[in-house]
Amino acid sequence: MCLDSKQIKLIESDVESARITLNHLANELVDHICCEVENMMNEGEKFEEAYRIIKEQTGIKVLQKIQENTLYLIDKKYALMKTTMKITGNVSLAVIAIGTVMKIYRFPGWPITLMIGFALLCFVFFPAALYLNYSYKTEKKKPLLHLSILIGGILFMIGVLFKVMHWPGSLLFLFYGWSIILLLFLPMLLIAKLKEVKTAKEKLIYVLGMISLIIFEFATMAKMFHWPGAGFFMLIGSVLLIGTFLPLFTAMKIKQNQINTGQFIFIITISMFTVILTMLLSFNVSQPVLECFTNEDINNSKILKYYEAKHNQELTVAKLNSDTTKTSAQQIAIIESADKLTKIILELKLNLVQEVEQVDKNTAVKLIADPQLIERKDNYDRVNMYLRWPEENKILAPLKEELNNFKKLSIETTSVDPDLSKTIESLFDTSDKKQNEENITWEEANFRNTLLIGTLARLSDIEKNVRIVESLIIK
Amino acid sequence: MASNDLLKGMLKPIILKLLFENKRMYGYEITQMVKEISEGEIELTFGALYPILHKLELEGIVKTESEIINNRNRIYYSITQKGNSKAKEKIAEFEDMLKTLKIFFKPNFGLKYVFG
């Protein structure tokens, strides 16, 4: 008994979905399956039943495995690439995981570990995987599709590394990498996918999936760049992705017999983790921490206001009595130094807020007066950028210098009160410290990788201490 | 039925021998013939067959020709002129190996060897 052309077409389309590209292998597999089915039909089975039984033994995975085994045997380059991909994929992930744990526990050597992991991932695994995918592609090759994910992916991964290492420029890499993936790669992938699927329902499912993925990825990007509305879009994207696309997609795949129980469990578990992590990310986890800093800054400002009012009073009195013995020249110098410090700190705060919030000076003044209104309280990238880490920090130099001057003047005046001198010494200690056998400067200890709101609170704290000491001395 | 471990390495000479004797064969035909001759003892799955055939083709030992049979493409394999001597060589090598194995697995060969 011979199969008719309709039956052969069905078998051909099933083999086609396994993406068998090797020269005449697809023809052979179709012929082989046809022969098997015909053999069973000769023994009395109907076509549908015979093909169902044969299909169980020759599913897509089996056919793909045959192609893979053939490639392994005939193409040394393929075998080498595949082995490289497998080894570097596993090794780079393990190295990155170890590097992350080392970073968390501050073990020495974490930067080099992370860098090796990322380098392997970016420059060996990723290109090897893409090369394999590209060179042994079934249908027409799509160089732009592969090129876009190669460049976008590498830029993105470098961005992640820079971000983790707190190197400047991380946002730039992330921005370009993400943009290429979102605006070039994903739409092109959708178009390619739509050409492959046949029914309108399948097309709809893929369009829905891609749109939700783009929304979700865009929201994640927005979150990282502290754009407004990120949390909202992230929720919408994940609900669409996990709540709508995923059930439809898995139902479709199960119906087409292209998914087994193991894969189903895997998909569900991964989705569950994604949902939970996304929810954690979309709701600001550091909110209580931010509030704590904000309150500290507000409280400092309140104390400062009291002392500033007092200071103005004292200044007037001091100026009046400048020719008498009551106010010495030293005290005047302290008052002047404190004023200078206030000016420096205000200038720093204004510049920081302008830089991070991207606002004009007037708005910055308002935001400093009411830090609750600050949007990007948790930003530290731009703070770092403004303070020009990791170069030698010049922006903070005037503050440190004036603080030392103030300390020197204050200690000279309070030499009769050793306790007060000691307190002043420790309050305004700007010397380097040892931390985990590393030398940490005062600037690093106080301002490096600190959130905007934390930096503002720290500056207010310094100002407050200056005013308190000033007040004590003038008295 | 012969286990897969045992079959590894034997399949290539078996396929070559069949092609040598039958001149022109297609994949399914080879699997069926192996099954028939070995009385079901050796099962040559198509997963094992096609990678070997493609490797032989790449080495130039066999060549393919396509023909439309029953509304579909059928790929026939035959040994090339260049591959003829190589195939003979392989088959001979395997036959030698079989002879050696036979001596090895003669009844009580080990005991005779020990006790003279």
Residues of B in contact with A1 (CB under 8 A): none
Q: Collect all residues with Cβ–Cβ distance below 8 Å to A71 and sequence separation of at least 6.
A: A22, A78, A79, A136
**Kind and range of the H or E element at B66?**
strand B62-69
B10 contact partners, CB below 8 Å, separation of at least 6: B94
pLDDT score at B26: 93
Please give the structure tokens belonging to residue A169. 């420029």
Read out DSSP for B17-40? HHHHHHS-EEHHHHHHHHHHHTTT
Burial annotation A227-253 (CB, 10 A radius, 16+ → b, else e): eeebbebbbebbbbbbeebbebbbebb
> Is A1 an 8 Å CB contact of chain B?
no
Tell me, yes or no, if A196 comes closer than 8 A to chain B by beta carbon: no
Q: Which candidate, A400, A389, A465, places its Cα nearest to that of A431?
A: A400
Indicate the DSSP class of residue B1.
-
Q: How many CA atoms lie within 13 A of A100 on its CB side?
A: 12
User: With contact defined as beta carbons under 8 Å apart, do A149 and A170 qualify?
Assistant: no
Instruction: Give the nearest chain A residue to B77 (CA atoms).
Output: A28
B2-8's contacts with Cβ under 8 Å and 24+ in sequence apart are: B2/B38, B2/B41, B2/B42, B7/B42, B7/B48
Q: Tell me the chain A residues in contact with residue B74 when contact means C-beta distances shorter than 8 Å.
A: 27, 31
Chain A contacts of B64, Cβ < 8 Å?
24
Instruction: Indicate the residue of B31, B46, B64 with minimum beta-carbon distance to A24.
Output: B64
Determine the structural domain holding residue B96 and report its residue range: 4-115
Exposure of A23 in the CB half-sphere (CA atoms within 13 A): 12
Residue with tokens 């396929």: B15
Domain count, chain B: 1
> Of B52, B70, B75, which is closest to A28 when you measure between CB atoms?
B75
Mark out chain B residues that contact chain A at CB-CB < 8 A: 26-28, 31, 46-47, 50-52, 54-55, 58, 64, 66, 69-75
CATH code, B111: 1.10.10.10
* pLDDT for the residue A311: 73
CB atoms inside a 10 Å sphere around CB A414:
19
Cβ A74–B55 below 8 Å, yes or no? yes
Spatial separation of the C-alpha atoms in residues A364 and A20, rounded to whole Å: 62
Measure CA of the first residue to CA of the last residue in chain B; give whole Å: 35
Cβ within 8 Å, pair B72-A8: yes
By Cβ distance, the residue of A27, A58, A62 closest to B73 is A27
Residue of A nearest to B71 (CA): A5
Query: Which of B31, B54, B76 best tests the A interface by mutation, with the highest count of A CBs <10 A?
Result: B54
Structure-token pair, residue A252: 């479709």
pLDDT value for A76: 83
Give the residue from A35, A60, A72 with the most B CB atoms within 10 Å of its CB, the best one to mutate: A35
On chain B, the residues whose CB falls within 8 A of the CB of A74 are 51, 54-55, 58
Spatial CB neighbours of A85, under 8 Å, sequence gap ≥ 6:
A125, A128, A129, A132
Of B33, B11, B17, B9, nearest to B86 by C-alpha is: B17
- Is there a contact between B47 and A65 if contact means CB atoms under 8 Å apart? yes
For residue A34, the chain B residue with the least C-alpha distance is B72
List chain A pLDDT tens, one digit each, 475 residues.
Answer: 788 888 888 888 888 878 787 768 888 999 999 999 998 899 888 888 888 888 888 777 888 888 888 888 888 888 888 889 999 999 999 999 999 899 888 888 888 999 999 999 999 998 888 888 887 765 567 888 889 999 999 999 999 888 888 788 888 899 999 999 999 999 999 998 888 787 888 899 999 999 998 998 888 888 777 677 777 888 888 888 888 898 888 888 888 777 777 888 888 888 888 777 766 665 554 677 778 888 888 888 888 888 888 777 766 776 666 555 555 778 788 888 988 999 999 999 999 999 888 899 999 999 998 888 888 888 777 788 788 766 667 888 899 999 999 999 888 887 778 888 888 888 888 888 877 667 888 888 888 878 888 999 999 999 999 988 888 887 6
pLDDT at A283: 56
Contact B73 A31 (CB under 8 A): yes
A94 touches chain B (CB under 8 A): no
Cβ contact A2–B75 (<8 Å) = no
Taking the CA of residue A326 as centre, how many other CA atoms within 13 Å lie in the half-sphere pointing to its CB? 12
Strand partners, B64: B77
Token duo for residue A38: 């015909």
Q: Confirm if A190 and A148 have CB atoms less than 8 A apart.
A: no
Q: Which of residues 130-159 of A touch B (CB under 8 A)?
A: none
* Preferred mutation among B12, B25, B26, B28 to probe A, highest tally of A CBs within 10 A: B28
The answer to whether the Cβ–Cβ distance between B55 and A66 falls below 8 Å is: no
DSSP code for A243: I
Which DSSP helix (H) or strand (E) runs through A95? helix A76-104
The pLDDT score that the predictor gives to residue A117 is: 94
Share of chain B above pLDDT 90, in %: 26
Interface confidence (ipTM) of the complex: 0.86
Paired tokens of B52: 């070997």
Q: Where are the domains of chain A?
A: 5-65, 221-283, 287-474
Residue among A212, A211, A205 nearest A240 (CA): A212
- The predicted pLDDT at position A285 comes to 45
Question: Does the CB of A283 have a partner CB in chain B at under 8 Å?
Answer: no
